[in-house]
Amino acid sequence: MNYLNIPFELRNRPSLDPGFIPFGAWADAFLKEAKREFRVAVERENGQISVFRSFLRDESFEQANTRYMERFVKFLLWSVGGWRVTICGCEETAKKLQEAFRLEGERDFDVHFMMDVFERPFEIGLCDVAHFPAANEQPKAAGGHLNGCRIGFDAGGSDRKVSAVIDGETVYSEEVVWFPKLSEDLDYQYNGIVESFKTAASKMPRVDAIGVSSAGTFVGNSPMVCSLFIKIPRSRREDVKSIYDRAAKEIGDIPIVVANDGDVTALAGAMSLNTGAVMGVAMGTSEAAGYVNPEGKLLGWFNELAFAPVDIRENAPQDEWSGDYGVGCKYFSQDAVILLAPKAGIDLPEELSLADKLKAVQKLAEEGHPGAREIFVNIGDYLAHTLSLYARFYDLKYLLVLGRVASGIGGDLLIEECNRVLKEEYPQLAEKITVMLPDENARRVGQSIAAASLPEV
C-alpha cells in the first residue's frame, strides 16, 4: 500500500530517487475520494486576502487528512504569504494545524518568518461559513515601462549590477563585486547601493525612475527578510527597511520600485514573450521563483517556493534552515545535484565548496558521464511532477528555468526530460504549459532592464 494508505500510480519516477512521492500526484489520488470541504483564507498586508478550497477524506483516513491539510496550508503560506490563516470546515483536523503552526510548535520556523515579515503575531483561526473572509486580491501592474531615463539595479549576494536604460536601450551597465552578507555595518550596503545609482545616473541626461531587483521578501519597498542584511543588528531594522527609498533620495525626488528578484525574472520573461501567465524558477544556491499573472501583473504573493512542499514522504531530504522535509530547495538547486551525486556513482571531495561540487558534476555531464547526465534528467522528473502542483495555484502558460543548475548540457537534459514526463503523465498540462530555458530575446531583456521597467512614470 502506498503512502498513508492512498494508492496512486507514477509511471515516471526519478531513477536515482525512486522513493520520491510528488505532492501533486499524491494529492490527485487523495482527492479522488475526498468529499468533506474545507476553505482556507490567507491574509497579508493591507487587508489582502487569498481564498482557496479543498477537500478531505472521511474520518478513517485521519493521518492522510492531517498530512494533506498541513501540506496544503504550508504551501499557501510560502506561495501567498500571510500573518493570519483562517480555516472553515473539518474542524478537528484544523485544530491540529493550530498546534503545529505556533511558536515552539512543529512549524516554529514558518511562524517566526511570517512574524518577521508582517511584524505582527501569526495566527491560525477557525470559523464557520458565515464568518469566512471574502477574497481581496490586489494585483499590481508593474514593469514593462521603458519610456525615459531609468536605472535598473540588481542586488545579488556576491555582486551588484546596475544599468542605465534610455527608452528601453541599455546605454551603460556594470557589475561590482561586493559582500553584503558579511557586513555588520549597514553603511557598507547603503554606500554600495548609492554608488551604483550615482554611476548609472552619470551616464544619462536625467533620471526618471529607479527599479530594483533583490533577493528577499518585501512589503512595499521594504526588505523584511533579506539575506543581504543578515548580519545587520536587529536594532537597525527600521534603517534596513528604508534603505532603498533613502538611497533613491540621494539622486533626487525620483520614483523607485523594489521587487523580489524572482518576480523580476518572471517579468523579464513576460516582456520577452509578450504575454502573461509566466513563472520563472531559478535553480542556484536555492530555488527562487516569481510569477506574472495572465494580465501581466504581480500578485503581491511571496512566491518563496524554496520552502513550499514538493515531496510528501516524511523521510524526504531535510532543509537545514527551516528544518522541514521535502521542500523545493532540496530539489531545484545545487543541493539536489549534490544529494543525487553519490546515487549516480559520483564521489565529490568534501573539501570542495557547494558551488565547486556543482561545477564538477556539470563538467562530468559535459564529458558524457552517464551518472552525471542522469542527475539532471532526474531533476527534470522532479520538475514535471511538481508542475502539476504549481499549476493548482498559479495559472501557467510558460515556465522559464534559469540559474546555474540549468546552464550547459544539464539544462538541456532537464528541460527535455521535464517535457517528456509532462506529455506522458500530465498531457493536459503539456498542452497548456511551455517549459523552456530563456531564449536569446529573454537574455537581451535581462534582469536589470526588467528591473528598470518596474516604475511607471
pLDDT in tens, 316-360: 999 999 999 999 999 999 999 999 999 999 999 999 999 899 999
**CA dist., res. 62 & res. 4, Å (int):** 9
Confidence (pLDDT) at 141: 84
Q: Are residues 335 and 399 in the same domain?
A: yes
Confidence (pLDDT) at 395: 97
Q: Are residues 247 and 161 in the same domain?
A: yes
Assess if residue 13 is contained within a domain: no
Confidence (pLDDT) at 158: 82
Q: Are residues 252 and 313 in the same domain?
A: no
Assess if residue 24 is contained within a domain: no
Sequence-ordered list of residues with C-beta below 8 angstroms from that of 309, at least 6 positions apart, any chain: 23, 71, 74, 75, 324, 326, 327, 328
Confidence (pLDDT) at 156: 84
Q: Are residues 98 and 153 in the same domain?
A: no
Final residue in a domain of this structure, among 96, 131, 166: 131
Q: Are residues 238 and 308 in the same domain?
A: no
How many domains does the chain fold into?
3
Q: Are residues 207 and 161 in the same domain?
A: yes
Estimate to the nearest angstrom the gap between the alpha carbon of 160 and the chain centroid.
20
Q: Are residues 406 and 316 in the same domain?
A: yes
Q: Map residue 439 onto helix, strand or coil.
A: coil
Closest C-alpha among 249, 315, 260, 316 to residue 288? 260
Which helix or strand (DSSP H or E) is residue 170 part of? strand 169-177
Instruction: Say if residue 445's pLDDT is above 60.
Output: no
**CA dist., res. 260 & res. 427, Å (int):** 32
- CATH no. for residue 273? 3.30.420.40
Q: Are residues 256 and 274 in the same domain?
A: no
Assess if residue 37 is contained within a domain: yes
Final residue in a domain of this structure, among 234, 264, 294: 264
Q: Is the pTM of this model over 0.75?
A: yes
Q: Are residues 311 and 378 in the same domain?
A: yes
pLDDT tens for 175-205 read 899 999 999 999 999 999 999 999 999 999 9
**What's the length of the chain?**
457
Final residue in a domain of this structure, among 69, 103, 131: 131
pLDDT tens for 82-138 read 999 999 999 999 999 999 999 999 999 999 999 999 999 999 999 999 999 999 999
Grid coordinates representing 182 are 558579511
Q: Are residues 150 and 202 in the same domain?
A: yes
pLDDT tens for 388-424 read 999 999 999 999 998 889 989 999 999 999 999 999 9
pLDDT grade for 442, boundaries at 50, 70 and 90:
low
Q: How many other CB atoms are found less than 10 A from the CB of residue 58?
A: 11
Grid coordinates representing 381 are 522528473
Please, what is the end-to-end C-alpha distance for the chain in angstroms? 60
**CA dist., res. 54 & res. 180, Å (int):** 42
**Domain residues for 180?**
140-264
Q: What angle do CA 21, 26, 30 make, to 5 degrees?
A: 150
Assess if residue 454 is contained within a domain: no
**CA dist., res. 117 & res. 306, Å (int):** 16
Q: Are residues 282 and 383 in the same domain?
A: yes
Q: What angle do CA 426, 432, 436 make, to 5 degrees?
A: 90
